[in-house]
Amino acid sequence: MNENDIKFLEDSFKKYYFDHFDQIRVPDRTSEREFGFQKFNYGMTRHISLKDDKELHLLLMKNIPSDVYCSNACYSFPNLPMNEKDWKEADLIFDIDAKDLNLDCRINHTVSVCTECNTTSTAQKQCPKCNSTKLEKKSLPCTNCIDHSKMEVKKLVEILVDDFAIDKNNIHIYFSGNEGFHIYVYDSQFQDLGSRERSELADYILFKGVIPETFGMKKFKPNRSSFPDFAEKGWRGRFSQEVYGSKSKRSKIISELITDGYSSFQSTLEGLTERIGVKIDPNVTMDIHRIFRLPGSLNSKSGLTKTLCKDVSKFNPYIEASFLDDKIVEIMADCPVEFKLKNKKFGPYKAEKITIPTYAAVYMICKKLATIT
Amino acid sequence: MLALGPDEIAKYPFLADAGQYLKDKGFTLEQFGTDPDLKSLIDKAFDRIEVAADGKVYKSDLIADQVSKEAALPREVFSFLLAIVLLKLSGMHTLIKRFALAEARRAEKYLERDLANISDESKKQLAIRVIDDLFSVQVKKQDDYFVIPVSDYLKHSINFHEREWKLINRHVENGHVFLTPHETVRLIRKELGTYINSKIVNAKTPQMISGFEEPVSKLVSLSKKFATSVVTTGEYPPCIKHAIDVLEKGENLPHSGRFMLATFLLSKGQTVEQIAPLFKNAPDYNERVTLYQLNHLAGTSGSGTQYSCPSCEKLKTQSLCFAIPECDNITNPLQFGKKRVQ
């Protein structure tokens, strides 16, 4: 990214941080958390400890970071190197990202930026100009992606509440600031679990590693009565709804499943993983030392804010998470697909000079699809 | 410490304070070596170890957790305590390990029976308390099942590699996992073994006692049977082959895959300079960054921590596992191709 672009982004980010201090709060148990940040074109600075909102605001003003992070873990000494921090516990966290959902719409709003010659295109494999295969993919907003991510969030919350008895008030859902959602679980029985245990929890939620016996199917002489029923809780109940469809079909479908045999049942389960498993990123959930994007901070992939969703079903990130101002700026835009922010349509632009509100300019520059003139 | 009745001490002798028990019964260790009436107990203790070394569970004189005759009960406890003395005197760690495991399996049987006991509530309560006191697992009875909090379940089940123990293959409801008595006890087998093992390891080694020399020297020769050596085929496991394949084709290997490949090769003794070229075809290759990251993993820069290759379980979660029969239940890719020979 060139210096003018960085200066423009830093000015815009600084203004946001100055105008919206009320939105950027340190989490509970502040002094036990590790904070970190990145600046545009710089690596990560981490192992920082902060006392309160005031110190955080000072850090933001002094450094104008592109991204700000805070640990889900609590430590005795958050500012020491990792193995001296003395890990105490960590909130359970989940990341649901539209890019992991294998949606058909992706191809329509993904732009490739060639890392060799900087050409922007909608090509998926090769740069149309220099034939390089080194392409950086940038995705632009799409309501379909957000709607599907929301469905995954809903499925996740259902499992957390029904299977793991987590109080709904202890589940906080945030729009990530780009294309997905971050879900936090506070004060649960899982606070002190290590990474391997959390990986098991992730597999449970992903519906991964499941064996036919769990659903009553055996290699030899399967017994009809051990197949799941509608009234059952947990995955057996969800299996019933998905595989039988209705109570009247249960008996017939069990007969079919038994006739088709064990290995066919196994493939049925694999198909189910894709359909009923919740598509969380397991790497995030099992990381107990992660510094996770700080709520209220800006995401440098978009210039949008990581925002708390009070009612996720009604939440529109491309209106409610866009807080940068409307001041008109001039940019050179090379953005082959259309996008919508604050209810306004933008693009496509074919390497042209345009005047545009700051929030949209930041959005495109963050995606490397425009530069300031 | 739990208050134990004589029955319980015979079933769970590792819960007893050994020195105190001998004192209460009015015996000293020396007596066992010299008194011809007590000497048979040393033979019994030796048998108990020998059976364990064979991977079997010692058959006690307790029948259906009733003592066949009054005198059998202290014999049960003495043979256990004397076995520990013999093991300590021999100093053979392989035997201690095998003994602890076999004793854990034996105790497991009693725990399971006590848990499932419908007629005697106090037996069930004792088993539940043993599990809670020793392993901090809170078991509650619910209908025909025992339920334990999901978090407690996970802390223990991650030691198992069989798929049936994965949380996804369990009945989970309301923050709890539902288990049969057998499964409840099976869940703590390893910890039970570790507990007994640590009790033995931490016990004081007495001076050689007259009359103990012969069984001790027999134990030393017995332990030689279990010496093993390891041979390696040198072939890469399928997960590593797959990762190399992906890179060679110039396709994108996720961060977790690169981490696995690099840590694996570093553990196999390759240098950062030998590994770096592998990543050349990656769509986002940057030599400076690759070298920086490899040095970080090798521990030659940064915090100095050398990162180890992730476990098979972790790789499964990350969709990086492509297990083949030759993987043969290994738990880390680094174990692939290693065979123990006796």
Q: Give the tens place of pLDDT for each residue, B33-60.
A: 888 888 888 989 999 999 888 888 877 7
Q: Which of B200, B202, B209 is nearest to B29 (CA)?
A: B209
CB A139 within 8 A of CB A98: yes
Amino acid at A267: S
Q: Which of A67, A97, A287, A334 is catalytic?
A: A97
Residue B84: per-residue pLDDT = 92
Catalytic status, residue A326: no
Instruction: Read off the pLDDT band of B63 (50, 70, 90).
Output: low
- The first and second tokens of residue A264, run together, are 């066919």
CB A199 within 8 A of CB A209: no
- The first and second tokens of residue B47, run together, are 């048998």
**pTM (2 decimals)?**
0.81
Residue B68: per-residue pLDDT = 54
> Could you give the CA distance from residue B153 to residue A22 in angstroms, rounded to a whole number?
41
Chosen for mutation from B142, B165, B168 (greatest number of chain A CBs closer than 10 Å) is B168
CA of A133, closest CA in chain B: separation in Å?
7
| DSSP annotation string for B110-131 | HHHHHHT-SS-HHHHHHHHHHH
* ipTM for the assembly: 0.92
The whole-number average pLDDT for the span B178-188 is 91
At residue B226, the 3 state secondary structure works out as coil
Residues of B in contact with A161 (CB under 8 A): none
CB A66 within 8 A of CB A40: yes
Could you say which of B171, B303, B316 has the minimum Cβ distance to residue A234? Answer: B171
Can you name the CATH fold of A3-100+142-204+281-372? DNA primase, PRIM domain (3.90.920)
Could you say which of A83, A235, A286 has the minimum Cβ distance to residue B303? Answer: A83
- The first and second tokens of residue B334, run together, are 């680094």
- CB distance B166–A200 less than 8 Å? yes
Could you say which of A115, A213, A236 has the minimum Cβ distance to residue B284? Answer: A115
Annotated domain spans of chain A:
3-100+142-204+281-372, 209-276
Residue B69: per-residue pLDDT = 56
Annotated domain spans of chain B:
6-120+189-224, 138-187, 238-341
Q: A306 vs B94, which has greater pLDDT?
A: A306
- CB distance A233–B175 less than 8 Å? no
Catalytic status, residue A187: no
Residue A222 DSSP class = -
CB B277 within 8 A of CB B295: no
CA of B306, closest CA in chain A: separation in Å?
12
Residues of A in contact with B256 (CB under 8 A): 283
Residues of B in contact with A162 (CB under 8 A): 173-174
For the cut 60, the answer to whether the pLDDT of residue B67 exceeds it is no
> Could you give the CA distance from residue B264 to residue B327 in angstroms, rounded to a whole number?
15
CA of B145, closest CA in chain A: separation in Å?
15
The whole-number average pLDDT for the span B12-34 is 82
> Could you give the CA distance from residue A361 to residue B3 in angstroms, rounded to a whole number?
74
CA of B169, closest CA in chain A: separation in Å?
5
Residues of A in contact with B286 (CB under 8 A): none
Least confident of A275-284, B15-24, B69-78: B69-78
CB A178 within 8 A of CB A304: yes
CA of B164, closest CA in chain A: separation in Å?
7
At residue A340, the 3 state secondary structure works out as strand
- If residue B146 lies in a helix (H) or strand (E), which one and from where to where? strand B145-149
Instruction: Read off the pLDDT band of B22 (50, 70, 90).
Output: confident
Q: Rounded mean pLDDT of chain B?
A: 84
> Could you give the CA distance from residue B35 to residue A223 in angstroms, rounded to a whole number?
61
Helices then strands, counting H and E runs in chain A, come out as: 10, 20
Catalytic status, residue A281: yes
> Could you give the CA distance from residue B299 to residue B266 in angstroms, rounded to a whole number?
10
| DSSP annotation string for A148-197 | HHHHHHHHHHHHHHHTT---GGGEEEEE-SSSEEEEEE-S-TTTT--HHH
CB A72 within 8 A of CB A94: no
Residue B228: per-residue pLDDT = 62
Angstrom distances, CA of residue A134 to CA of A118, A137, A344: 10, 10, 32
Instruction: Read off the pLDDT band of B341 (50, 70, 90).
Output: low
Tell me the sheet residues that pair with A291.
A71
> Which are the contacts of B281, defined by CB distance < 8 A and separation ≥ 6?
B247, B248, B249, B250
> Could you give the CA distance from residue A119 to residue A132 in angstroms, rounded to a whole number?
10
B55 phi-psi bin (left φ>0, alpha ψ -120 to 50, beta other)? left
Residue of B nearest to A214 (CA): B169
**Residue that is written with structure tokens 């859902």 in the block:** A173
- CB distance A163–B172 less than 8 Å? yes
Q: Which of A341, A277, A228, A237 is nearest to A96 (CA)?
A: A277
- CB distance A189–B163 less than 8 Å? no
**CA end-to-end distance (rounded Å), chain A:** 13
The pLDDT tens digits of the residues spanning B274-314 come to: 888 888 877 777 888 888 889 989 888 776 788 899 998 88
Residue B2: per-residue pLDDT = 58
Could you say which of A136, A162, A204 has the minimum Cβ distance to residue B168? Answer: A204
Q: Which of A5, A95, A287, A334 is catalytic?
A: A95
Size of interface A-B (CB pairs under 8 A): 103
The pLDDT tens digits of the residues spanning A289-323 come to: 999 999 999 999 999 999 999 999 999 999 999 99
- The first and second tokens of residue B317, run together, are 């979660």
Q: Which of B186, B195, B191, B140 is nearest to B165 (CA)?
A: B186
CA of A16, closest CA in chain B: separation in Å?
32
For the cut 60, the answer to whether the pLDDT of residue B342 exceeds it is no
Q: Which residues of B touch A (CB under 8 A)?
A: 149-151, 154-155, 157-158, 163-164, 166-176, 250, 256, 283-285, 303, 305, 311, 313-314, 316-318
- CB distance A209–B163 less than 8 Å? yes
- CB distance A201–B149 less than 8 Å? no
Write out A22-52 in H/E/C secondary structure.
HHCCCCCCHHHCCEEEECCCCCEEEEECCCC
pLDDT averaged per 10 residues, chain A (length 373): 94 95 90 96 92 94 96 96 93 96 89 86 86 85 92 98 97 96 97 95 96 94 92 95 93 95 94 95 95 97 96 95 95 93 92 96 95 92
